[in-house]
Amino acid sequence: HAYVTYEQFGLHTPELAALGNQANERIFRRDCLEVDIKVGGAPITLYLVHFKSMGSPRNGLDGREATMPVRIAEAQAVRRIIEERFGGDHAADKRWAICGDMN
């Protein structure tokens, strides 16, 4: 999922544009790795993420506020990836977990 863009997933917002993010830019700077494994013989899908860090203040906002639109888009993208894999109505019934640094 390394090359999915805001535009492809319909996630580009005015808030992202205000931060200088373009619609054709990648959502994930550090990918969203999807791994299928078995635990105790049962399959489970892991989504490994490292969301945008909060960083230092910029544009008159503290680091958390300044980067929140990026983290929101990353979280929405992971949800879409999971729903596309398992179906929006069936994802809750499947075995999957989101792991990593979500800042």
Whether 5 is covered by a domain: the verdict is no
Q: Give CA–CA dist 49/44, Å, rounded.
A: 16
Whether 65 is covered by a domain: the verdict is yes
Question: Which amino acid type is present at position 13?
Answer: T
Query: What would the pLDDT profile of 35-48 be if each residue is shown by its tens digit?
Result: 999 999 999 999 99
- Domain of 61 in residue numbering reads as 14-101
Domain count, the chain: 1
Whether 8 is covered by a domain: the verdict is no
Query: What would the pLDDT profile of 41-91 be if each residue is shown by its tens digit?
Result: 999 999 999 999 887 887 787 888 888 999 999 999 999 999 999 998 999
Whether 40 is covered by a domain: the verdict is yes
Whether 2 is covered by a domain: the verdict is no
pLDDT at 72: 97
Whether 1 is covered by a domain: the verdict is no
Q: Give the predicted TM-score (pTM) of the model.
A: 0.91
Whether 7 is covered by a domain: the verdict is no
